[in-house]
């Protein structure tokens, strides 16, 4: 019987510091869930990380640590391809070409650029500005059908689709137009200290975010301190950003609906609820934490895995790049 080709999935993550519960619920959980059904390619996006200043030794460590974390999560290199973005030069090469097909105006409208340039006023570099073009290249080289990301990356996905559509319109069917795959629950996990802001590892208040590798005690302590409201009823509501966020997190890790969660905590205080969320999150992350120690301790194995991934990725990426180069009129 003829085998039906699996749909393709591509996504990347920056190796910038500790990965958070936001990364996990918004993206990584889906990366794992998709690996049985889809042909998945996942990369550590180190080129993206240097749009803000990084300490070289620390960055190197974080790249290893991010690769180890993907393995600890359960991404199986026999099923999914894991590689390091900078090891596949086609990403930078395609990025230059596509930057000539992307308008200054469209890049100026990117929310993340506006936010990051306001935050790092002393280093508003060209890389920060053209970041979405590199991200479009990461995606388009592999012709994926789906790109699992959190809600904050939706705008970047849209510009990738626009660039691809424009290129195809001029040169014929070169790129697949990918769809974003954003989770229904937990697409935007918010800060535990200011639930109107996205949970982010760059938040200076360490109580605002939970790292995937935090200890059980730290996780529970952070949830106990989470900012809520004075109504004391566990239900979704306006002006209840803190509780809405905790319900979203609890729902994402337990699979319970918001209604079931409200029923479960009817007549009980926020203290009980926060403890339950902390315990559920700590339990969900426990196996990842344990497996991580094994993967990070074996650098040789890590290197073998990403080298194999780099090679497979380069093979696919170079095919797309050659096609693009031919289309624009370069001599091969
Ligand atoms: P990055 O490294 O900031 O985050 C990795 C993934 O985690 C998601 N995420 C969240 N989801 C929900 N709530 C949060 N608080 C939260 N914080 C982060 C992000 O949406 C993302 O899916 N530019 C990308 C990396 C990238 C990429 C790509 C992604 C580079 N090339 C190609 C997809 C395809 C980024 O900075 O994600």
Render pLDDT for 259-285 as a digit per residue (tens, 0 to 9). 999 999 999 999 999 999 999 999 999
Task: Please state, in angstroms and rounded to a whole number, the distance separating the CA atoms of residues 123 and 203.
Answer: 18
Please list every protein residue whose CB sits less than 6 Å from any atom of ligand 1.
Answer: 11-14, 22-23, 26-27, 45, 48, 135, 138-139, 147, 149-150, 152-153, 156, 187-189, 198-199
What DSSP state is assigned to residue 173?
Answer: S
pTM: 0.96
198 DSSP β-pair partners:
190
Please name the residue that has the structure tokens 């994402």: 252
What pLDDT is stored for residue 3 in this prediction? 67
User: Could you tell me the distance, in angstroms and rounded to a whole number, from the CA of residue 12 to the centre of ligand 1?
Assistant: 7
The residue whose CA is least distant from atom 26 of ligand 1 is 12
Residues of the chain under the 70 pLDDT cut: 1-3
Task: Please state, in angstroms and rounded to a whole number, the distance separating the CA atoms of residues 31 and 66.
Answer: 14
Name the catalytic one among 198, 222, 240, 274: 198
What pLDDT is stored for residue 6 in this prediction? 95
Long-range Cβ contacts of 235-241 (<8 Å, 24+ apart): 235/262, 236/262, 241/190, 241/195, 241/196
What pLDDT is stored for residue 2 in this prediction? 58
CB atoms within 10 A of CB 15: 25
User: Could you tell me the distance, in angstroms and rounded to a whole number, from the CA of residue 149 to the centre of ligand 1?
Assistant: 6
- Concerning whether 224 is annotated as a catalytic residue, the answer is no
Q: What sign has the CA pseudo-torsion 293, 297, 298, 303?
A: positive
- Concerning whether 79 is annotated as a catalytic residue, the answer is no
Instruction: Give residue-wise pLDDT tens across range 124-147.
Output: 999 999 999 999 999 999 999 999
Which atom, in ligand 1's list, is nearest to the CA of 156?
23
9, 12, 86: which to mutate for ligand 1, most atoms within 8 A of CB? 12
- Concerning whether 8 is annotated as a catalytic residue, the answer is no
What pLDDT is stored for residue 264 in this prediction? 97
What pLDDT is stored for residue 30 in this prediction? 97
User: Could you tell me the distance, in angstroms and rounded to a whole number, from the CA of residue 136 to the centre of ligand 1?
Assistant: 13
């Amino acid at each position: 019987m003829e085998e039906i080709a699996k749909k393709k999935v591509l996504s990347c993550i920056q190796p910038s510091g500790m990965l958070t519960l936001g990364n996990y619920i918004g993206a990584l959980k889906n990366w794992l869930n998709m690996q049985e059904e889809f042909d998945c390619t996942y990369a550590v996006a180190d080129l993206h990380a240097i749009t803000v200043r990084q300490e070289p030794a620390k960055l190197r460590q974080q790249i290893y640590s991010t690769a180890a974390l993907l393995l600890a999560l359960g991404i199986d290199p026999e099923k999914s391809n894991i590689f390091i973005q900078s090891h596949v030069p086609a990403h930078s090469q395609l990025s230059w070409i596509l930057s000539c097909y992307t308008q200054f105006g469209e890049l100026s409208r990117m929310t993340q650029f506006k936010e990051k340039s306001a935050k790092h006023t002393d280093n508003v570099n060209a890389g920060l500005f053209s970041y979405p073009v590199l991200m479009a290249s990461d995606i388009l080289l592999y012709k994926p059908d789906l790109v699992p990301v959190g809600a904050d990356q939706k705008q970047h996905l849209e510009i990738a689709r626009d660039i691809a559509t424009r290129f195809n319109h001029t040169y014929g069917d070169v790129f697949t137009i990918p769809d974003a795959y954003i989770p229904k629950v937990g697409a935007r996990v918010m800060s535990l200290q200011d639930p109107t802001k996205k949970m982010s590892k760059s938040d200076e208040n360490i109580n605002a975010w939970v790292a995937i590798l935090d200890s059980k005690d730290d996780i529970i302590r952070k949830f106990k301190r989470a900012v809520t409201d004075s109504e004391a009823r566990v239900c979704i509501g306006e002006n209840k950003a803190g509780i809405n966020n905790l319900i979203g997190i609890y729902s994402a890790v337990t699979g319970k609906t918001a209604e079931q969660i409200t029923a479960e905590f009817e007549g009980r205080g926020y203290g009980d609820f926060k403890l339950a969320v902390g315990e559920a999150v700590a339990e969900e992350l426990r196996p990842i934490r344990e497996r991580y120690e094994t993967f990070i301790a074996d650098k040789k194995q890590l290197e073998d895995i990403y080298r194999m991934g780099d090679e497979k990725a380069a093979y696919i990426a170079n095919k797309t790049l050659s096609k693009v180069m031919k289309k624009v009129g370069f001599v091969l």
